[in-house]
Copies of this chain bind each other. A is one copy, B any other.
Amino acid sequence: MRITKHPEERKQEILETALGLFEEKGIQKTSMNDIAETMGVAKGLIYYYFRSKEELVEAVVESFSEGVEKEIKMLLSTEGLSFHRRLGQVVKVFFLSIQEHPALMSITPKNPGLFELVKTSLSELALRHAKVLLQKGVEEGYLNLQYPEYMLKILIHGIADLYVEGVVDPKVHCTLIEEALGLSTGTLLKEF
């Protein structure tokens, strides 16, 4: 049975199936065959949309980040919010997007890869969007940091890894962020 779909729709379907399997079994242990089989589609079809497995992996990561990016953009477009409020929202978006993909976090020594890539991608994304916000925080005196961007990176990577190790309470994360940024206790927490 041969089911024809719109290219974009099909591409999306592959991306989602791949993401699911990568989360479940790791990139390496997911074969192109697995993906095709799960979709109920022939192996060759995937190669019609993606030149190689590598390209597919990149596309999956990109696609994931794009989802997060959309939400962030929406948030930041709202005018007139205070620095703390905004920061709180950005943090929230990150953790919500991670919470929606719990399997993403299940890295084991036998199953590395995807998380690391996603993390890096998210971190870059965060930086792109938070630069201005951080600058503002520094200028307005809310933040007293020499390397605000680096600190942001550390927090994203570090908390993500903490998450992987089982610390999933957003309150804890907020407290840690407050302390690291030198904000007074509860500043972020009250945004949740």
Residues of A within 8 A of B (CB): 27-28, 54, 57-58, 61, 107, 109-110, 112-113, 116-117, 119-120, 123, 144-147, 150-151, 153-162, 165, 167, 172, 175-176, 179-180, 182
How far apart sit A28 and B147, CA to CA, in the bound complex (Å)?
A: 35
How far apart sit A95 and B146, CA to CA, in the bound complex (Å)?
A: 20
Report whether A179 and B180 are in contact in the complex, using a CB–CB cutoff of 8 Å. yes
How far is the CB of A53 from the nearest CB of chain B, in Å?
Answer: 10
Report whether A161 and B151 are in contact in the complex, using a CB–CB cutoff of 8 Å. no
Q: With A153-B162, A161-B157 as known contacts, state yes or no: A147 contacts B119, CB within 8 Å.
A: no
Q: Which of B113, B157, B165 contacts A112 (CB 8 A)?
A: B113
Q: Which of B57, B112, B144, B167 contacts A116 (CB 8 A)?
A: B112
8 more contacts with CB within 8 A, not counting A54-B109, A147-B176, A179-B182, are: A107-B116, A119-B161, A154-B154, A154-B162, A154-B176, A154-B180, A156-B158, A158-B158
Identical copies in the complex: 4
- Closest B residue by C-beta to A160: B157
Residues of B within 8 A of A154 (CB): 154-155, 158-159, 161-162, 176, 180
Q: Which of B54, B61, B165, B180 contacts A153 (CB 8 A)?
A: B165
Residues of B within 8 A of A176 (CB): 147, 150-151, 154
- Closest B residue by C-beta to A28: B28
The list of the 10 closest CB pairs from A to B, nearest first, reads A154-B158, A158-B158, A157-B161, A180-B180, A112-B113, A157-B158, A112-B116, A112-B112, A146-B175, A153-B162
Residues of B within 8 A of A112 (CB): 27, 112-113, 116-117
How far is the CB of A4 from the nearest CB of chain B, in Å?
Answer: 13
Residues of B within 8 A of A151 (CB): 176, 179-180
How far is the CB of A174 from the nearest CB of chain B, in Å?
Answer: 11
Residues of B within 8 A of A147 (CB): 172, 175-176
